[in-house]
Amino acid sequence: MPLLNLYYVGEKMKKKIFTFKFILLGITTGLVNGLFGSGGGTILILGMFFLLDIDEHKAHATAISIILPLALVSTFIYMKHGIIVWPVTLKIMTGGILGGYIGAKLLSKIPEYLLRKIFAVFMIIAAIRMVF
Amino acid sequence: MYLILIGFFSGIIGGMGIGGGTLLIPALTLFTPLTQQQAQGVNLLSFIPVAFVALITHFKNKDVETSISIPFIGLGILGSIIGSFLAVKLSSHILKISFGIFLFFMGAYEFFYKEKSRTK
């Protein structure tokens, strides 16, 4: 397989890759992920759905393969500026790995639409508290 | 101990695939003395090992479309460098407010998200 394809053959159709929208989506994903330290994946998955004919499961897996190197670059720049707090991160990671495992198990037991609504409300409350 | 708990809850959300980071960062800035930049750094760094492990599984299942990811990584790194330098240069207060506005729209998107909303 060549490293750079001009077309992506999706589920039902062939889509041209290097369009203006594609380039814009790629740069925006990195910009948001670097600026806010999160959220790049959500934008990327949403964008891929609209621009490319990609299956949801593959979109999620592909998004992780893209965000991982971007997170490495951003972490390196943050580290160079001395804003990586190792002891806090290690504690968050310990809880996070355990929680991630439980979350993946719980996923099949709680309806997803309900979860999304609950977390959306939390996000909006947190957003308002951060701005004011 | 409460740090492990914050990590635990954001891990549950992340494990469900709803983006744990977008709630981890406000939890850290609202409940701990960390600055906005430091909270973002915690999320970026803690994402790396988790994503690495998940990626191994996704590669084994052949779910990663490398024809898409390679050009996106190139473009994304360009954006990441600009975004990260902007993040470290901005004041924590301004970055926190900007993040709040961004979070509001992300929350609104999640709230109105529909499973089959994509237009084919």
Q: What are the pLDDT digits (tens) for B92-116? A: 999 999 999 999 999 998 888 776 5
Same structural domain for residues A78 and A90?
no
Is A66 in contact with B72 (CB distance < 8 Å)? yes
Residues of A within 8 A of B48 (CB-CB) are 68, 71-72, 75
CB count in 10 Å sphere of residue B115: 9
Structural domain includes residue B117: no
* Residue B11 near chain A (CB below 8 Å): yes
- The Cα of B116 is separated from the nearest Cα of chain A by a number of Å equal to 10
Structural domain includes residue B72: yes
Same structural domain for residues A33 and A63?
yes
CB-based contact B77 A30, cutoff 8 Å: yes
Is B107 in contact with A124 (CB distance < 8 Å)? yes
Predicted TM-score (pTM) of this structure:
0.90
Higher pLDDT, A30 or B16: A30
Structural domain includes residue B19: yes
CA-to-CA distance for A67 and A61, rounded, in angstroms? 10
Structural domain includes residue B39: yes
Looking at A42, A58, A83, which one is the last position of a domain? A83
Number of residue pairs across A and B with CB atoms under 8 Å? Answer: 364
pLDDT at site A68: 96
Mean pLDDT of B65-74: 94
Structural domain includes residue B41: yes
Same structural domain for residues A91 and A69?
no
pLDDT tens digits, chain A, 132 residues: what are they? 555 677 887 877 788 888 899 999 999 999 999 999 999 998 999 999 888 888 888 998 999 999 999 999 999 999 999 999 999 999 999 999 898 888 888 877 888 788 888 889 999 999 999 998
What is the count of structural domains for chain A?
2
What is the count of structural domains for chain B?
1
A9 strand-pairing partners: A14
Range of the domain at A105: 85-132
Same structural domain for residues A18 and A32?
yes
pLDDT at site A23: 95
Looking at A83, A102, A120, which one is the last position of a domain? A83
Same structural domain for residues A43 and A65?
yes
pLDDT at site A3: 59
Measured CA distances, B49 to A6, A122, B53, B76 (Å) = 32, 26, 6, 19
Same structural domain for residues A33 and A9?
yes
DSSP B101: H
Residues 6+ apart with CB under 8 A from B60: none
Judged by DSSP in three states, A97 sits in helix
DSSP B44: H
Residues of B within 8 A of A8 (CB-CB) are 65, 67-68
Structural domain includes residue B119: no
Same structural domain for residues A123 and A66?
no
Judged by DSSP in three states, B1 sits in coil
Range of the domain at B92: 2-112
Rg (CA), chain A: 18
